[in-house]
Amino acid sequence: MDHVLQGLFFCSLTALALLSAGHALLLKRDPRSALGWIIVCLTLPLFGPLLYWSMGVNRISRKARQWLESGRRLAGWENFSPRNTRQAASTLPPEAKYLNELRSLSDRVVSTLLVPGNRLTPLENGESAYPAMLDAINHATHSINLSTYIFDGDPTGRRFVKALKDAAARGVEVRIIIDSLGEKYSRPTARKLLKGSKVRVGRFLPLRQGGYVNLRNHRKILVVDGSRGFTGGMNIGDRHMVKRDSGPPVVKDMHFMVEGQVVSDLQRTFLEDWYFVTGELVKDKRFFPTISPAGGALVRAVSDGPDKEFRKLNWIIMGALSCARERVQIMTPYFIPDRPLISALVTTALRGVEVTLVLPSLNNLPFVHWAGRAYLWELLQQGIKVYYQPPPFVHTKLLLVDNIWSLIGSANLDPRSLRLNFELNLEVYDGELARQLADKFAAAVAESREVTLTEVDNARSIPEKIRDGMAKLFSPYL
């Protein structure tokens, strides 16, 4: 009898190993990944298949697409305001004509239009961004829609809480989406501070519904009266107030005030998320007023997430790198590139384009910093310039091409932003904005320390290289 049980046990292990290896063979797109998992499944009895089913299967995209297919997430302008009320930009500016291929790429992978008549105003740190946002809230007449990853209950958060409560009390419809993981960053939570008011608060993917560390809503959106917007990389809290002597560690960042037709796309993105969070489909025309031209920028909103068929942001970044002629300037707090992105950056540099990457020397996530360091030698070898900004931690995200095209918003250059979470970025054709941002980029480079190939190859000790290499192994999950 014992021999029979042992035989059944080993047959079960063999069947599980073969099933797991077959699954990897059929569904893994990367042959190196498929081969690796097949070897793990066939050579490590029980442990290998368990490891594969827990870490090797992409349940994140599958879960997000199930939401889309079930109708929990909406996708399509027809759910809100009719698209025929707006027209896409007919042509690019003369100085950007050579980027027509990039525009064609975005037209194919993004459903939103590239719309004219916009103006974007950079707002550095909380000292510039928060007064502008609070002023918009205080002057709202009928609606305020706010989405943020982190909304702290500190003095800055309380100022926003008071402004939002006051707006709701005077009859403005106020809706707020707070990510349920992001709200855990402080006590008391903003949701608790808003309790009992007329402000409607929705939590994105409450942890009790599955405890997802991924699939977070990382977007930062504020739309007031459907005609004035704010977006970028900044959350709400004291951390972004740079000129202070106490409180949490300082985090420098940049936000943008948005005026013009593209505000309607910010509104649509918020209302799609609101439907997902609350089940309420908001279609009132008041949320989509006719917006007069505010400037000369051509802007497209790029809403991306694991529920989308294409990795939109990733493809647009690749397209921008392939079209660049003179310079590419990248600033990001978290840099964990995949192999295609490394190849694209290196190819861009080998074409003679000046590629500059600015990273923080002090990172609030040390293991992300360690993993990023392990990739730098490949870039430095091919002439890409890398700089470390001095403390405090810099959370700004910018991608600039040839002083004409900019990509701004909430996404970092890491797997979490480009594959696992919900993000919102704006691609902008506007020489004036690009030059403003290039000036800020140059100022950051001037106060930063250049990283050399010698430093990365020789200055790091063996324990440091082992630590960085171990962190790199887990980079797809960071």
CATH number of the domain encompassing residue 191: 3.30.870.10
Please give the tally of structural domains in the chain.
Answer: 3
Please indicate, yes or no, if residue 107 is contained in any of the structural domains.
no
Of the two residues 471 and 345, the one the predictor is more confident about is 345
pLDDT in tens, 33-60: 677 778 888 888 777 787 776 656 555 5
Residues 250 and 153 in one domain: yes
pLDDT in tens, 192-212: 999 999 999 999 888 665 455
CA distances, 140 to each of 28, 170, 229, 273 (Å): 50, 10, 12, 21
pLDDT in tens, 442-465: 999 999 999 999 988 877 888 888
Give the C-alpha separation, 367 to 385, whole Å. 22
Give the C-alpha separation, 180 to 217, whole Å. 9
Residues 144 and 244 in one domain: yes
Q: How far is CA 387 from the centre of its chain?
A: 22
Please indicate, yes or no, if residue 109 is contained in any of the structural domains.
no
Residues 52 and 156 in one domain: no
Pull the structure tokens for residue 418: 């480009």
Q: Is the dihedral of CA 216, 222, 228, 230 positive or negative?
A: negative
- pLDDT band at 68; cut points 50, 70, 90: low
Residues 141 and 207 in one domain: yes
Share the mean pLDDT of the chain.
88
Residues 172 and 78 in one domain: yes
Residues 73 and 51 in one domain: no
Collect all residues with Cβ–Cβ distance below 8 Å to 330 and sequence separation of at least 6: 355, 356, 357, 358, 398, 399, 400, 413
pTM of the model: 0.87
* Domain of residue 147, residue span: 65-84+119-295
